[in-house]
Amino acid sequence: MRKGPLEGVKVLDLTAVVVGPTCTLTLAEQGAQVVKLEQPPAGDLLRKLGGPSRSPDMSPKFVHFNRGKQSIAVDLKTAEGKAVLLRLAEQADVLVTNMRGGALKRLGITWEALAPKNPRLVFCVIAGFGSKGRYHDSPAYDTIIQGMSGFADALGRVTGEPRYAPFVLCDHITGIIASQAITAALYERAQTGAGQPLEVPMFESMAHFVLTEHMFKRTFDSAGPTGDPRVMNPDAKPIPTKDGYLALSANTDAQAFAFFDAIGRPELRDDPRFNSVVARFRNVDAYFALRAEALRAKTTAEWVVIFRKAEVPAMPFNTIEQLLDDPHLWEAGFLRRENHPTEGPMVGLSRPVTFGTAARDELPLAPRMGADARAVLANAGYSEAEIDTLLGNGAVMRPPV
């Protein structure tokens, strides 16, 4: 069995924090060999920014975002270190970076510099902003993009004030978009034999995400309102029951009519406010209020049984703590007990996607910084003597003990 559909694809990962590591984690989960190149002494900022850890450079977030990767730490201020970087880039199928353009040019890591030596390379730059706009090469973090893209405004319309989501959401989404763009470029390379440069900007990606959902009437009318009122309704949230909350969605006519039957209000099928998808959209406030009033009558567990029998989409609300105890996730193998060689016992996350031709998810656990230096250099064609020299002069950091 293969590791995944991208088995044999070599990825050089010059990314840090969340947006880039999300991209390369997805590629690793699909079977690619990912070499994460970090710069000592600090390495990826997420090693420390992602929360307290047993080892000083293995935060909880870092552990989850960097599963399935090898780590080599290279001093790019040295000529020898730059040479290592260039050799790895020339041998890679994919290079992914979220470094800003000026830093890439100083290192000689640009499509124009690498393409003559590696014309099959897929060169992906994840940037804050697209290169053709006035914001190009401005620094960007997830909160900057949430604020600029309308995402914080959308939350503000619901909560009463602009808010950031309690996730680095733009990083996550843009990283996944980048991984999809890379696989599309690899597919094209399989047809043509040629690599290509890719630019995946966070701002444009999130503007696309927000506007496809919430451009609404402004699509056709320059003075029309924005924002899907059904999605932005303050009552579009988990619904209180007698003892907790329920996540419920009854959108189609069949689902809504089954819901009315289940709550003992079959006459609402003929109510002109609720008798069609269009009618319920126009009367979304009344529809949500009706749901909220009805669900207070029974417990969450009682409603789950009733709605499952009626084929109304409804499931219990989970806190994050309850999510970690959700029996389905353990039965499906998504959550599992692991024993990290340096961090000890931990709860691990397996890949959520199942490939029929791939073996069970056995990705290596996240590495300490520089842990795979010898293996990476040997795979790149360095001799033992050359490796000893690079480790001895500090161009490449020695693997941690």
Supply the CATH number for residue 279's domain.
Answer: 3.30.1540.10
* pLDDT tens digits, 35-54: 999 999 999 999 999 888 89
* pLDDT tens digits, 3-16: 999 999 999 999 99
Q: What is d(CA 343, CA 57) in angstroms, rounded to the nearest whole number?
A: 10
Q: Among residues 316, 339, 363, which one ends one of the domains?
A: 316
| Residue 99 sits in the same domain as residue 205 | yes
Q: What is d(CA 239, CA 288) in angstroms, rounded to the nearest whole number?
A: 9
Q: What is d(CA 261, CA 267) in angstroms, rounded to the nearest whole number?
A: 8
| Residue 130 sits in the same domain as residue 199 | yes
Does residue 73 lie in a domain region?
yes
| Residue 62 sits in the same domain as residue 147 | yes
| Residue 181 sits in the same domain as residue 289 | no
The pLDDT value recorded for residue 273 is 98
- Provide the domain count of the chain: 2
Does residue 288 lie in a domain region?
yes
Do residues 182 and 218 lie in contact, with contact meaning Cβ atoms separated by under 8 Å?
A: no
Q: Among residues 285, 316, 347, which one ends one of the domains?
A: 316
Q: What is d(CA 70, CA 373) in angstroms, rounded to the nearest whole number?
A: 8
Sign of the alpha-carbon dihedral angle for 122, 128, 134, 139: negative
Q: What is d(CA 372, CA 387) in angstroms, rounded to the nearest whole number?
A: 12
Does residue 222 lie in a domain region?
no
- Residue 361 pLDDT grade (very low, low, confident, very high; cuts 50, 70, 90): confident
Does residue 153 lie in a domain region?
yes
Residue 68 gets the label, from left (phi > 0), alpha (psi -120 to 50) or beta, of left
Taking residues 371-395, report their average pLDDT.
Answer: 98
| Residue 194 sits in the same domain as residue 283 | no
Does residue 247 lie in a domain region?
yes
Query: Domain range for residue 243?
Result: 239-316
| Residue 147 sits in the same domain as residue 259 | no
CATH number, domain containing residue 47:
3.40.50.10540
Does residue 3 lie in a domain region?
no
Measured torsion, CA atoms of residues 3, 93, 18, 174, in degrees rounded to the nearest 10: -100
Six-digit token string for 130: 């697209």
Does residue 194 lie in a domain region?
yes
| Residue 29 sits in the same domain as residue 167 | yes
The pLDDT value recorded for residue 135 is 96
| Residue 78 sits in the same domain as residue 181 | yes
Do residues 324 and 337 lie in contact, with contact meaning Cβ atoms separated by under 8 Å?
A: no
| Residue 298 sits in the same domain as residue 169 | no
| Residue 72 sits in the same domain as residue 183 | yes
Residue of 137 and 202 predicted with greater confidence: 202
Predicted structure pTM score: 0.95
Is 355 a residue whose pLDDT tops 90? yes
Do residues 342 and 53 lie in contact, with contact meaning Cβ atoms separated by under 8 Å?
A: no
| Residue 14 sits in the same domain as residue 104 | yes
* pLDDT tens digits, 59-94: 999 999 999 999 999 999 999 999 999 999 999 999
The pLDDT value recorded for residue 398 is 96
Q: Which long-range contacts (CB under 8 A, 24 or more apart) does 137-146 make?
A: 137/100, 137/101, 137/102, 139/100, 140/202, 140/203, 142/18, 142/19, 142/168, 142/169, 142/170, 142/171, 145/170, 145/174, 145/202, 145/203, 145/206, 146/170, 146/206
H-assigned helices in 193-276:
202-214, 229-232, 253-262
Does residue 321 lie in a domain region?
no
| Residue 340 sits in the same domain as residue 303 | no
Taking residues 274-295, report their average pLDDT.
Answer: 96
Q: Among residues 316, 347, 366, which one ends one of the domains?
A: 316
Is 170 a residue whose pLDDT tops 90? yes
CB within 8 A of 34, min separation 6: which ones?
Answer: 11, 13, 24, 27, 28, 68, 69, 70
Do residues 11 and 33 lie in contact, with contact meaning Cβ atoms separated by under 8 Å?
A: yes
The pLDDT value recorded for residue 360 is 81
